[in-house]
Structure 1
Amino acid sequence: MRIVSLAAALILLAAPAHAETLRLMSYNIRVDVSGDNPRWAERRDPMAKQIAFTAPDIFGVQEAAQGAVADLADRLPGYDHYGIGRDDGVNGETTTLFYDHTRFLRVDASTQWCSKTPNVPGKDADAAYPRTITRVILRDRDSERLLDVRNTHFDNIGEVARENCARQIMAIPPYPGAIVLIMGDFNTGTDSAPYRILTGDGGLNLKDARVGAAIDFGPPGTFNGFDIKKTNGEAIDHIFVGRTLTVSRFGVLTDSIGGRVISDHFPIVADVVLP
């Protein structure tokens, strides 16, 4: 099976990211649904190859069923991962974080539910489903630098729930001495209350990694609905980094399997220059 590479080829034209650059990737990989074309069994191999080719240091996945996480882990042995089921802490979709275990040592890992009882499985306000915030604290094995990485998937229905989850993820205190990085499918565009909360003054002082990136390549939209031509929609997948950090490259990857996209979201990639 041949993968037609568009954005991924261009974003990697330069030399591989050096030791002081961090490559982040966020990817809604889509649960396996009857009627999708292609189905997961056909998507998993090219998806793993796409991720391996892009070579992120850390990547977060959303709509990640337990079997899909296992499939990617088997095909990407250079990564360790953490994420638990949203339904009851075991079953259900995950917002799993993968990280290069040759570069990073995991210091801590935890999960919160987007709700008034974050340590107990449940859902908030008008949310259609339970939603989780997956967090890992990583230590760079060479530089000893600490990273506080958070991956989430905001609700697709609940407007109030999305705002509450944005406030909740911002209220988690940074791990001492760590750089905070947030990624996910936020089901919300750049002109929305949750986005303004995530990029607002105070708090964690974050910015959208795409805004101000030295190189910004790819279409504006990140949701495609399994239509490779649907590229002008709203950006609902985001990576947020500290305002003082430089983003050298940002890309929305439109790779396909013979003209069929690999997921109903395009993955996003950001190269962040660390201080």
Structure 2
Amino acid sequence: MRSTPELPLRVLTHNIRYATSSPFKGEVPWDQRKQLLLNELEYHTRHVSDAFICLQEVLHRQLEDILAGLNPKAKSPSPEWAYIGVGRDDGHQAGEYSPIFYRPSVWELLDWETVWLSKTPSKPSKSWDAASIRIVTIGVFTHLASGNTVLAMSTHLDDQGSRSRLEAARIIRAKIQEYRKGKFGTLIGGTFLAGDLNSQEDQEAYSDFTGSGDMHDTFKLVDASRRYGNHNTFTGFGYEKEPPSRIDYVLLGSKGNQTWKVDGYSVMANRFDDGVFNSDHCAVIADLRLVG
């Protein structure tokens, strides 16, 4: 007999491109594209109260813009959206965040942390061949209505270092096992990892996650005839030398009697007839159910 009701939820992940002061050819500044990004987030979560928004490359001022946009009544004592995450450079507000946004009226946050994907994961650092400091944001959330608990993770792996991407994947998998065996282990029914892995299917990080059997790609859990939108998730701004590729994912892991079912998978467009790219990546959306 099922101990908790079935839980439907949506996971949206998007590398939003940091607010650079030196835009690429084809890229408009953040101030000109932020409303497009906010409209995207609002549209895809408006009537999906259980949604998580996982973002990457978010500078602090972008974080403030997104919070203000998601919470138009910001002075309310109970804003609709909250987040977990820190800037990767100092563990506070410096550098890029990989935040997870959620609705506190829907989810109770039990615990969260930021882990640095390095040999010293408890402090800002980089190791191996990484060009930049890299992090994973981890949260344990209980769904207030159903009682289901999920382990949520948002990350952005290095774009230069193959060894660092592989080691990062191993660190993340070890953290998943740590949580499953820790004080929340009896509660956690499902795990998801969302973000930009900078790794295609035949490359190190993706192969480590999925080859281990710990994680499964939502893309492959939906019949090809039912996927919606684009295939590639990285597009650039139209003038980059590297070709479009699929490097952004929602990966799933489950434990015990509870399992994930994938009802829908989509890669949304990042440019429309206004000609403006809201990012050099597309948003990936997975509609899930935790059952068991």
Under a length normalisation based on structure 2, what TM-score does the superposition of the two structures give?
Answer: 0.82
Which residue number in structure 2 is paired with residue 83 of structure 1?
Answer: 85
C-alpha distance after superposition, 1:96-138 (max 9, x if no partner) = 1111222111111101100111001100100011101101111
C-alpha displacement at 1:227, in angstroms? 3.1
CA distance in 2, matches of 1:58, 1:201: 25
Indicate which of 187, 196, 219 corresponds to 2:207: 196
CA distance in 2, matches of 1:137, 1:227: 38
Which residue number in structure 1 is paired with residue 75 of structure 2?
Answer: none
CA distance in 1, matches of 2:83, 2:107: 11
1:240 equivalenced with 2:251 (yes/no): yes
Matches within 5 A, 1:1-150: 20-33=7-20, 34-36=22-24, 37-55=27-45, 57-77=51-71, 78-90=80-92, 91-150=94-153
CA distance in 1, matches of 2:191, 2:253: 7
Query: Could you tell me whether the CA contact under 8 Å between 1:227 and 1:260 is conserved in 2?
Result: no
Indicate which of 206, 216, 222 corresponds to 1:207: 216
CA distance in 1, matches of 2:108, 2:70: 17
Change (3 A) 1:128 1:255: closer
Q: Report the RMSD for the aligned CA atoms in angstroms.
A: 1.8
Query: Could you tell me whether the CA contact under 8 Å between 2:236 and 2:244 is conserved in 1?
Result: no
CA distance in 1, matches of 2:106, 2:133: 32
CA distance in 2, matches of 1:148, 1:242: 9
CA distance in 1, matches of 2:197, 2:108: 27
Query: Could you tell me whether the CA contact under 8 Å between 2:270 and 2:281 is conserved in 1?
Result: no
Indicate which of 263, 268, 272 corresponds to 1:253: 268
Aligned length: 253
Which residue number in structure 2 is paired with residue 273 of structure 1?
Answer: 289
Query: Could you tell me whether the CA contact under 8 Å between 1:227 and 1:261 is conserved in 2?
Result: no
Which residue number in structure 2 is paired with residue 15 of structure 1?
Answer: none
Which residue number in structure 2 is paired with residue 182 of structure 1?
Answer: 193
Percent of residue pairs bearing the same amino acid type:
29
Indicate which of 207, 218, 234 corresponds to 2:229: 218
Higher Rg: 2
Which residue number in structure 2 is paired with residue 264 of structure 1?
Answer: 280
Instruction: For structure 2, list consecutive stretches of 5 or more residues without a partner in the other structure.
Output: 1-5, 72-79
Under a length normalisation based on structure 1, what TM-score does the superposition of the two structures give?
Answer: 0.87
C-alpha displacement at 1:255, in angstroms? 4.2
C-alpha distance after superposition, 1:152-197 (max 9, x if no partner) = 1000111100000000000012341211110110001011121111
C-alpha distance after superposition, 1:178-222 (max 9, x if no partner) = 1111011000101112111111235xx210011121521122211
Instruction: For structure 1, list consecutive stretches of 5 or more residues without a partner in the other structure.
Output: 1-18
Larger CA deviation: 136-145 vs 205-214: 205-214
C-alpha displacement at 1:35, in angstroms? 2.5
Change (3 A) 1:160 1:42: same
CA distance in 2, matches of 1:40, 1:218: 25
